[in-house]
């Protein structure tokens, strides 16, 4: 008899939908089949049973524009668990005077209160060829993906082409993954230099100040550098049709490239900047046109976009108060708790995607690219028993007041949501049930990445 059996549910994987029980011993999946019995049993009749969701792009307690994102690892992980997320991947806070391993050690301390498991990307800031050994030391600490910026020169985060090429060569030698925020800084700075005070006073200018062309150019450039270096590459928060085309072109040229998009680029457009509260939607890249939104959904269907992550970086209304210029705002939106419900509502309930696609783009694909599959992202025998049980019946209105993130607004306020997360299990333990957190702070564990990273196939 097993420790726990989730009985009578509909099990969803990237390949199939089937009626099956899931048995758990300790923290791992012990069996998948029918008629399984356990000392404890969870009746999942009428529920969809998915692997736990992996949000591979979050920013908890991140210093931004003189403030700090409003979720720490405790509040953010609680919100994640209530949304069916069982693993988050955050970033170190890079600085020229701090080595990447030092930043990892600090971030692991920050993450210790988490109620779910977590991994890290190492942020690369102020790096030069003399610091090549930091990548190997970081990998010894369990971090095998490294974040670069092609923009934000003023804050010192941008890595120039020469340094980036040298870093890519070192990452290729180590089998590590380059993760890139791709917006062309030269183009952005050129536009910024021509903005008038009136331009800066209009929130809508943000969309023009960081155009889709900046994304396309930067993706093409870093993809070329990665291909020449033989370095695996991942592009975060692809926001535009032409940005996606650049990913496709790089893949057809033989680059080992993967890409993510975010719910805000799938559901929202730059039209929100014309609202009285348009400043609350500040983000980089900015929101785009409706045609971009539809192109990204098509990219998910064709698998040209590998997965969806949130770029969860929440702020309160007070933190995002309007002071007369879009340049003075902190950029970032909340999303970790609403990722699964929004994708189910807008992807599955509308027929844009099949339910098996959800298991692929929220579970399997991020786990494979990060090299943590099948420990995470699957419900196979031996996998961590990370499970989200989703009730597809009924509708509700999304409201920030009902969410668990430390922010007082949602970009999707009032949106009708199809279904709800009934329960979330992390390593066999119920951490959220019916919207109520039942997890102990600090029960989450760090996850080492890169063990068996897979390269996306040309498609």
HSE-CB at 36 with a 13 A cutoff on CA atoms is 26
Output the six-digit token pair for 27.
Answer: 């923290």
The backbone torsions φ and ψ at residue 230, rounded to the nearest 5 degrees and listed phi first, read 75, 30
Going from N- to C-terminal start, the domains of the chain cover 2-50+383-398+419-434, 52-370
181 strand-pairing partners: 149
The Cα–Cα gap between 13 and 155 comes to: 42
Asked whether the domain spanning 52-370 has the same topology as the one spanning 2-50+383-398+419-434, the reply is no
- Contact between 186 and 128 under an 8 Å Cβ cutoff? The reply is no
Residue 116: name the closest of 436, 424, 382, 355 by CA: 424
Quote the percentage of the chain above a pLDDT of 90: 97
What does the angle CA 227 – CA 230 – CA 236 come to, to the nearest 5 degrees? 65
Segment holding 376, helix H or strand E: none
What does the angle CA 344 – CA 306 – CA 247 come to, to the nearest 5 degrees? 130
Segment holding 335, helix H or strand E: none
What does the angle CA 425 – CA 428 – CA 431 come to, to the nearest 5 degrees? 35
Torsion of CA 176, 181, 183, 189, to 10 degrees: -110
Q: 29: Cβ–Cβ under 8 A, 6 or more apart, which residues?
A: 22, 23, 379, 380, 381, 382, 383, 384, 385
Question: Mean of the per-residue pLDDT values for the chain?
Answer: 97
Segment holding 91, helix H or strand E: strand 85-91
HSE-CB at 274 with a 13 A cutoff on CA atoms is 5
Number of other residues whose CB lies within 10 A of the CB of residue 107: 24
pLDDT tens, residue by residue, 165-193: 999 999 999 999 999 999 999 999 999 99
Indicate the pLDDT class of residue 459, thresholds 50, 70 and 90. Answer: very low
The SS3 of residue 189 is: helix
- The mean per-residue pLDDT over the stretch 237-248 comes to 98
pTM, to two decimals: 0.97
Output the six-digit token pair for 141.
Answer: 């600490």
The SS3 of residue 356 is: helix
- Contact between 247 and 456 under an 8 Å Cβ cutoff? The reply is no
Output the six-digit token pair for 134.
Answer: 């930091």
Long-range contacts: 106-111, Cβ < 8 Å, 24+?
108/446, 110/60, 110/61, 110/72, 110/73, 111/60, 111/73, 111/444, 111/446
The SS3 of residue 327 is: helix
At 438 the pLDDT is: 96
Indicate the pLDDT class of residue 451, thresholds 50, 70 and 90. Answer: confident
pLDDT tens, residue by residue, 368-417: 999 999 999 999 999 999 999 999 999 999 999 999 999 999 999 999 99
Q: Which CATH class is domain 2-50+383-398+419-434?
A: mainly beta
- Contact between 301 and 255 under an 8 Å Cβ cutoff? The reply is no
The Cα–Cα gap between 210 and 443 comes to: 40
Output the six-digit token pair for 332.
Answer: 């970032």
The backbone torsions φ and ψ at residue 210, rounded to the nearest 5 degrees and listed phi first, read -125, 75
As its CATH architecture, domain 52-370 has Alpha-Beta Barrel (3.20)
pLDDT tens, residue by residue, 271-290: 999 999 999 999 999 999 99
pLDDT tens, residue by residue, 64-112: 888 999 999 999 999 999 999 999 999 999 999 999 999 999 999 999 9
């Amino acid at each position: 008899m097993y420790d726990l059996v989730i009985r009578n549910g509909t099990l969803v994987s990237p390949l199939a939908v089937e009626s099956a029980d899931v048995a758990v011993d300790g923290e791992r999946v012990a069996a998948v089949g029918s008629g399984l019995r356990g000392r404890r049993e969870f009746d999942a009749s009428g529920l969809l049973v998915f692997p736990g969701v992996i949000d591979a792009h979050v920013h908890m307690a991140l210093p931004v524009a003189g403030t700090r994102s409003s979720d720490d690892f405790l509040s953010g992980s609680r919100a994640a668990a209530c949304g069916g997320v069982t693993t988050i991947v955050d970033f170190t806070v890079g600085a020229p005077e701090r080595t990447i391993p030092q930043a990892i050690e600090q971030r692991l301390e920050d993450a210790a209160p988490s109620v779910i498991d977590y991994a890290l990307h190492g942020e690369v800031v102020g790096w030069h060829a003399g610091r090549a050994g930091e990548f190997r030391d970081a990998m010894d600490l369990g971090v095998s993906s490294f974040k670069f910026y092609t923009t934000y020169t003023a804050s010192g985060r941008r890595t120039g082409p020469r340094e980036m090429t040298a870093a890519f060569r070192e990452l290729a030698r180590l089998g590590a993954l380059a993760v890139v925020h791709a917006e062309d800084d030269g183009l952005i700075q050129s536009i910024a230099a021509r903005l008038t005070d009136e331009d800066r006073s209009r929130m809508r200018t943000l969309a023009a100040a960081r155009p889709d062309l900046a994304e396309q150019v930067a993706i093409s450039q870093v993809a070329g550098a990665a291909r020449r270096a033989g370095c695996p590459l991942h592009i975060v928060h692809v926001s535009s049709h032409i940005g996606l085309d650049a990913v496709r072109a790089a893949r057809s040229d033989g680059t080992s490239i993967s890409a993510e998009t975010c719910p805000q680029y799938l559901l929202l457009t730059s039209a929100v900047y014309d609202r009285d509260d348009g400043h609350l939607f500040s983000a980089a890249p900015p929101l785009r046109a409706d045609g971009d939104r539809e192109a990204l959904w098509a990219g998910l269907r064709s698998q040209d976009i590998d997965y969806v992550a949130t770029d969860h970086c929440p702020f309160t209304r007070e933190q995002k108060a309007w002071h007369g210029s879009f340049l003075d705002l902190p950029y970032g939106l909340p999303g970790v708790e609403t990722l699964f419900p929004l994708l189910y509502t807008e992807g599955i309930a509308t027929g844009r995607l099949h339910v098996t696609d959800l298991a692929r783009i929220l579970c399997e694909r991020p786990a494979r690219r990060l090299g943590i599959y099948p420990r995470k992202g699957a419900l196979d025998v031996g996998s961590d028993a990370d499970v989200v049980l989703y009730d597809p019946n009924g509708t509700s209105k999304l409201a920030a007041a009902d969410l668990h993130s430390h922010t007082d607004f949602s970009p999707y306020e009032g949106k009708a949501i199809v279904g709800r997360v009934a329960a979330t299990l992390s390593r066999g333990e119920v951490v959220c049930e019916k919207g109520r957190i039942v997890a102990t702070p600090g029960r989450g564990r760090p996850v080492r990445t890169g063990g068996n990273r897979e390269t996306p196939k040309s498609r």
